[in-house]
Amino acid sequence: MSRARERKIIHIDMDAFYASVEQRNNPELRGKPVIVGGAPDSRGVVSTCSYEARRYGIHSAMSSAEAYRRSPHAIFIVNPNFEEYYRVSRQIRDIFGEITPIIEPLSLDEAYLDVTRNIPGISSATHLAERIKRKIFELTGLTASAGVSYNKSLAKIASEWKKPDGLTVIRPEEAEFFLSKLAVSQFWGVGPVTAGKMSKLGIHTGADLRSWPLWKLTKAFGKSGPWFYKLCRGIDERPVETLRERKSLGKERTFAKDISVMSELEELLKSLATDVWRSLIKEGISGKTITIKIKYYDFRQITRSRSLLDSFQNLEDFIDAAITLLRNTEADRIPVRLLGVSMSSINRKAHQPSAKQLSFQFAGNVNI
């Protein structure tokens, strides 16, 4: 067996995360279709929903109006308690930290763990996954699904396999079976556009993908060709990457009431930017890129970024940039429920004033 197949990777993903937290906190919601997201009479969408709601075919990103049509008795949570979700997220990360320091969080409710070597010294990754699931349940009252395999893609496929409260192990000799049946859209790196292109070429499943030689895949998909070639053969050498170095520093706020007055938003943004700036100073860092994030009342989220040629040197410039970005959004017309600002392209040796920073030198837009 090659060394690549000797790693032990666990992927953990909480079940119906936001909805489960809501059901846990409010017993009246248990056993019922619960939808977290926009109100049914808004243009909002479903963020997530309980498994009871999924029986009606409701899923993330569906319009709330459609969800309501499918299940008029569903309970809509239009004021999600993000602080609580963050709190649970920190709790589960602490549990992961008791098992291994090699943790790669993908979102609040999801992470890869490399447990090839682990703190409890248990050789069976399956036992470790059981232990993590049990601890999560004991500590939070919530269920998670776990996937165990020898690489990241397979571990992720495995955790999806038997949701909710599932535990699936894909051993090296079983990888081919799992992958051959899989729809190409489930493969890492195959977005809707690529999936469409594959479909036109008659590639629908992992088995179809596998029947294509490397040169043909490369011709059709360029640099991604060799990646797809490997992936459908169960080869994925990406390491589990711990977020050691800070890549960005930011702060955001969800408001109790949506805000539609621009001057109020500007004041709030100033205060958020000041907080971020203080933290940057504390860590002795600055950065070149400022990003603001806005979530409108209907949960639609946007980010707007600008990059300087060199790191920001003072708070005034940082605030000015934030406000300029804000004024280029629809915030003056559409009520805002969340506002955030962050700094990235971090430079650890920043905060040495430089004359050329005094005026704005935007290197251009990114991420718009």
Q: Can you give the binding site for Mg ion, defined by CB under 5 A? A: 13-14, 17, 109
CA dist., res. 100 & res. 242, Å (int): 11
Residue 48 interacting with ligand TTP (CB under 6 A): yes
- Residue 38 structure tokens: 């926009």
Residue 206 sits at φ, ψ, to 5 deg, of: -55, -40
CA dist., res. 81 & res. 39, Å (int): 15
CA dist., res. 99 & res. 230, Å (int): 29
CB 66 within 8 A of CB 203: no
Residue 60 interacting with ligand TTP (CB under 6 A): yes
Footprint of ligand TTP on residues 142-201 (CB under 6 A)? 163-164
> Considering beta carbons, is residue 36 or 203 the nearer one to ligand TTP?
36
User: What stretches of the chain show up as alpha helix (H) in DSSP?
Assistant: 17-25, 51-54, 64-70, 82-97, 125-140, 152-161, 175-181, 192-200, 206-210, 214-221, 224-231, 262-283, 315-327
Residue 297 interacting with ligand TTP (CB under 6 A): no
- Residue 210 structure tokens: 């596998």
Residue 11 sits at φ, ψ, to 5 deg, of: -115, 125
Which of Mg ion, ligand TTP, none does 18 bind, CB closer than 5 to 8 A by kind?
ligand TTP
> Min. distance of Cβ 110 from Mg ion in angstroms?
6
- Residue 146 structure tokens: 């776990």
Could you say which of 8, 15, 212, 344 contacts ligand TTP (CB under 6 A)?
15
The interface region with ligand TTP, picked from 10-18, 65-73, 219-227, 330-338 by CB under 6 A, is: 10-18
> Considering beta carbons, is residue 20 or 345 the nearer one to ligand TTP?
20
Other CB atoms within 10 A of residue 69 CB = 12
Residue 52 interacting with ligand TTP (CB under 6 A): no
SS3 at position 23: helix
Residue 114 interacting with ligand TTP (CB under 6 A): no
Residue count at the site for ligand TTP (CB under 6 A)?
15
> Considering beta carbons, is residue 18 or 229 the nearer one to ligand TTP?
18
> Considering beta carbons, is residue 48 or 149 the nearer one to ligand TTP?
48
> Considering beta carbons, is residue 18 or 221 the nearer one to ligand TTP?
18
Residue 340 sits at φ, ψ, to 5 deg, of: -145, 155
Which listed residue (104, 110, 160, 266) is catalytic? 110
CB 146 within 8 A of CB 134: no
Query: What does each C-alpha distance from 113 to 106, 190, 319 come to in angstroms?
Result: 11, 23, 38
> Considering beta carbons, is residue 92 or 265 the nearer one to ligand TTP?
92
CB 119 within 8 A of CB 99: yes
CB 127 within 8 A of CB 110: no
Could you say which of 17, 212, 312, 318 contacts ligand TTP (CB under 6 A)?
17
Q: Is 267 a catalytic residue?
A: no
> Min. distance of Cβ 163 from Mg ion in angstroms?
8
Could you say which of 1, 3, 61, 349 contacts ligand TTP (CB under 6 A)?
61
CB 19 within 8 A of CB 49: yes
Residue 296 interacting with ligand TTP (CB under 6 A): no
> Considering beta carbons, is residue 48 or 205 the nearer one to ligand TTP?
48
> Min. distance of Cβ 51 from ligand TTP in angstroms?
7
> Min. distance of Cβ 88 from Mg ion in angstroms?
12
Which of ligand TTP, Mg ion, none does 60 bind, CB closer than 5 to 8 A by kind?
ligand TTP
> Min. distance of Cβ 225 from Mg ion in angstroms?
31
SS3 at position 368: coil
Residue 14 interacting with ligand TTP (CB under 6 A): yes
Other CB atoms within 10 A of residue 18 CB = 26
Residues annotated as part of the active site: 110
Chain residues binding ligand TTP by CB under 6 A are 13-18, 47-48, 60-61, 107, 109-110, 163-164
